[in-house]
A and B are shown apart, each in its own frame.
Chain A
Amino acid sequence: MSAVPTPDSLLERAPLLVRDWVSGLFPASWRWLTGSLLAIAAVILGFGLLFTLLTLIERKALGRMQNRPGPNRTGPGGLLQPIADGIKLLVKEDIVPVAADRPLHFLAPVVLVAFTLLSFAVIPYGRHLLPVDLASGVLFFFAAGAATELAVFMAGWSSHNKYSLLAAMRALAQLISYELPLLLAVVPVVMLAGTLSTAAIVAGQGRWTLGFIPHWWVGTPCGAAGFLIFMTAALAESNRSPFDLPEAESELIAGHLTEYSGFKYALFFLAEYLGMTALCAMAVTLFLGGWQAPCVWLQSIPSYGWFFLKLGALLALLMWIRGTLPRLRLDQLMRLCWKFLVPLALINLGTAAFWHLSAGWEPLPARLARWALALLLVLGPFAAIGRRLGAGVERRRYRYAPS
């Protein structure tokens, strides 16, 4: 469990060298401005590119899971499909309903994308790649995410369409309900790490037992439960299947997005994928060790490589879930949140408190007892509440389908 001296290879320091070179082209008093602008440009361009690739990979992955190829006509293997989609959305006519509230109708996608991009500022992408080092970075991230809910309301209300408004209310209900398990799942990590700063949380996970077992928070019982609750709530917060009721086509056409066309629709789409990426990035930071390598000897791969590998794995998991699970109805969704996730998250808080207070149990039997007790505190309520909620629902019998 010894800390390893950090490798400072050329690959690790390459982004810093680029930034210093670019800042050197401008007067020295502008250094903070050029540094910030470079970071902003890197985040927007990098994650914009990731967004286009993600739309394509998602369509192809979903296709393969559904026994079909996905887009493969535009460009080799469909690689130019995102460009074709972008051009199509750009040249589409921007229709605003006559009775709509034009300023709000215009502002809604702008506010949404702006606050979603803001939340990318506190995520450490590599050892030296943190755009803004805030002492309360985690809180900033969730504050920016909470402000995006206003944009959903603005979109639904300004369309002057009672079905859009209704759908916006339903979307808001989903978003504010799932804020609770999202935040409660993060509190154990903050409690155990003792800090709200993302850089410090990642640095605190940089230890290995026997050189190959990393000390990521997902490895503790309360961390694993928190990770699962966080991922479920993240699916709901970014309106992803199986919680994509607000944007499903069979639900009030497109919900709060019904009256949007062309580039504004593309902005909503962009904001959804960016939000999903941001939440996955935060999950990687809090639970999966951020940019830390899983083994001591694998640190030759630069830290940002590890971060994007883990981010890619989480995004692939989200696509896998989208291809598998059917959509939840609104009441099923709310029931899952309030009757399942919130109690489990609160009990997880207690488990984390126990884990924190029993950190000093030294002899091996005591450590094993600590693990056993924590696992019991995590799995027991899960099984109990699961059984209570699933009572009276038995396995479906299909009369005509082949078994």
Chain B
Amino acid sequence: MTSVLVILAGFTLAAAAVAFALRPLVHCALCLVLAWAGVAAFYLWAGAEFLAFAQVLVYVGAISMVVLFAVLLTRRQADSDEAPGSGGAGRIAAGLAVAAVVAGVLGRAVLGANLAPSPVAARPLDVRRLGAELAGAYAPALLVAGALLTVALIGAVVIAATDAETRGEDRR
């Protein structure tokens, strides 16, 4: 079913490209959300149901909210909700350099991987085994991610609380 894969990949890349090209920032964020939905569709095509729905739940449901809140709460003026325009040779050069580095890393990873299609179908989902793996082999990764998220949450709360204090509002 490579035709389906081509369509999905085209849709995802098109959404990401449009997200770069649009001027209103909120439209960019929503196109980015479409790109994430495309990635979830890819996971479904590959047979990883759990991962696909987790992708939708986490990215489309929560991270999109983070992005939109960040866009809306950090606007400097009322009409500055547009993406900063392109311009400046230095910026273009820096952009091209970063793109080259990322393309190089991705290219090496893709070319060096074994992409022969395997005849084995994806394993059916076993929640107990998933839990055992997360709490066993992948526990350190889970703990590190959890710690990172907790630090970010506490940092956000501290920043918000400090703002309230400096403005002299009373806290209950």
Contacts and interface: CB of A to CB of B under 8 A. Distances in A.
A139 B65 contact: no
A152 B68 CA distance: 12
A196 B127 contact: yes
A146 B49 contact: no
B60 A147 contact: yes
Given A154-B30, A165-B72, A143 B56 contact: yes
Contacts of A142: 57
Contacts, number: 64
Contacts of A145: 61
A66 interface: no
A154 B62 CA distance: 15
A136 B49 CA distance: 7
A196 B131 CA distance: 12
B60 A190 contact: no
A260 interface: no
Contacts of B62: 146, 176, 179
A191 B132 CA distance: 12
B14 interface: no
Interface size, B (range): 20 to 34
Contacts of B124: 135
A69 interface: no
Nearest to A176: B65
A157 B49 CA distance: 32
Nearest to A150: B64
Contacts of B33: 150
- Grouping DSSP codes into helix (H, G, I), strand (E, B) and loop, the B interface class, with mixed when no group exceeds half, is helix
B42 interface: no
Nearest to B61: A146
Interface in A274-312: none
Contacts of A195: 127
Contact of A143 (B24, B27, B61, B64): B61
A140 interface: yes
A149 B53 contact: no
Interface residues of A, number: 28
A342 B50 CA distance: 24
B128 A143 contact: no
B18 interface: no
Max chain A C-beta neighbours (<10 A), residue from B33, B65, B128: B65
B54 interface: yes
Interface in A120-162: 134-136, 139-140, 142-147, 149-150, 153-154, 157
A154 B30 CA distance: 9
A194 interface: yes
Interface in A80-128: 101, 104
Given A196-B125, A196-B127, A139 B26 contact: no
Nearest to A154: B30
Interface in B62-90: 62, 64-65, 68-69, 72
A190 to B, nearest CB: 6
Contact of B53 (A104, A143, A154, A157): A143
A169 interface: yes
Interface string A363-390: 0000000000000000000000000000
B9 to A, nearest CB: 21
Given A165-B72, A169-B72, A143 B125 contact: no
Interface in B12-70: 24, 26-27, 30, 33, 49-50, 53-54, 56-57, 60-62, 64-65, 68-69
B125 A135 contact: yes
Interface of A: 101, 104, 134-136, 139-140, 142-147, 149-150, 153-154, 157, 165, 169, 172, 176, 179, 190-191, 194-196
28 contacts: A134-B49, A135-B49, A135-B50, A135-B124, A135-B125, A136-B50, A139-B54, A139-B57, A140-B49, A140-B53, A143-B54, A143-B57, A143-B61, A146-B57, A146-B61, A147-B61, A149-B65, A150-B30, A150-B33, A150-B60, A150-B64, A153-B65, A153-B68, A169-B72, A172-B69, A194-B128, A196-B50, A196-B127
